[in-house]
Structure 1
Amino acid sequence: MSYKNQWPTNRLLSTAARLVEHAWNENLASLGITHAGVMALDVLRSEGSMTQAQLAHQVRVQAQTMGKTLHRLEVHGHITRSRNALDRRSHMVSISPAGERVLVDAARLEKGLLGSDRDTDEQFRRKLIDLISTLGGARWRMEVEDGAETPAGPTGGADSPTESEHSATSH
């Protein structure tokens, strides 16, 4: 019997998450993007243009971390930035056509990474969504419903995650 059979569930989940993210980042490198970049592009595709600070909040990283991610995305042509008409001190970030295409490629890579059957994947996803909603709701004041996040109350402040809590997204 493997010693991993003795691990608590939280250790299994944490280890699996790190291993999946590392493997995914290795695959994404061929596209010139990271996991953090995919998350940012995915938010921009679904929510539309927004400021760096708004995007950082949506992805749950520090604005400085998001700045580094956006720089890499801009260098590869995956995003565009334009002056914010409402606040000339900031820029609006938008996904580019190249960013749209790289998301399609990234989704294909992600599907191939886990290689599970659809029924098992849906059951696992439901359990993960429930776990994120239960544990993350109080921390981020967000709920996850059918793969989409919705505000559950006031946001920001001391409940926002620290950069060290999201170091995996700053590759």
Structure 2
Amino acid sequence: MGRPHQPPVGLAVARAARTLTRAFEDALAAAGGSQSSWLVLLQLKINPGATQKDLAEALELREATMTHHLSGMERDGLITRRRDPANRRVHQIELTEAGEAAFHRLRTAATEFDERLRAGVDPQRIAELGDTLATLVANVQHAENH
């Protein structure tokens, strides 16, 4: 007997991604942030003093989009921009005290969200999911390059 009808895998992944993204955004909003601010704060903890270009590349965003995010974060007092002494045209981005506090709040929210997602799921299945998603991405990238 054949398998019950299943939606195309791309559709199932897209639906799951939308649902999880909305829930993650809600969790971060409850902690006073957003996914974009969380990702910038996280990158700045990994790479203190990164440039706008560094951040845009790391987050796979256009520089104009990164400028928009950074302007809002600077207005909110989470980051400062200072000129690179070696290249006055380049700004290095650094966390402020408020940015450090926001990082810790959002890290807690992100960790708690991840724990909720993993609840009741065998770690082996989580590992298999990661492998499967990596394969799907590789398949798409391979198709785009050929």
Structure 2 length-normalised TM = 0.74
1:119/1:44 Cα in 2 relative to 1: closer, same or farther (>3 Å)?
same
Identity of aligned residues (%): 23
SS of equivalent to 2:93: strand
Pair member with larger Rg = 2
Match of 1:33 in 2: 33
Paired amino acid for 2:96: S
Matched, 1:11 2:16: no
Q: Report how far residue 104 of structure 1 moved.
A: 2.2
Q: Distance in 1 between matches of 2:95 and 2:64?
A: 19
Match of 1:23 in 2: 23
Q: What is the RMSD computed on CA atoms of the aligned residues?
A: 2.9
Match of 1:127 in 2: 129
SS of equivalent to 2:81: strand
Alignment deviations for residues 94-116 of structure 1 (CA, whole Å, 9 cap, x no partner):
12232222222223223433512
Q: Distance in 1 between matches of 2:124 and 2:111?
A: 13
Paired amino acid for 1:6: Q
Q: Distance in 1 between matches of 2:128 and 2:83?
A: 40
Q: Distance in 2 between matches of 1:87 and 1:122?
A: 48
Match of 1:112 in 2: 112
Q: Report how far residue 119 of structure 1 moved.
A: 6.3
Q: In the alignment, is the contact (CA less than 8 A) between 1:41 and 1:95 conserved in 2?
A: yes
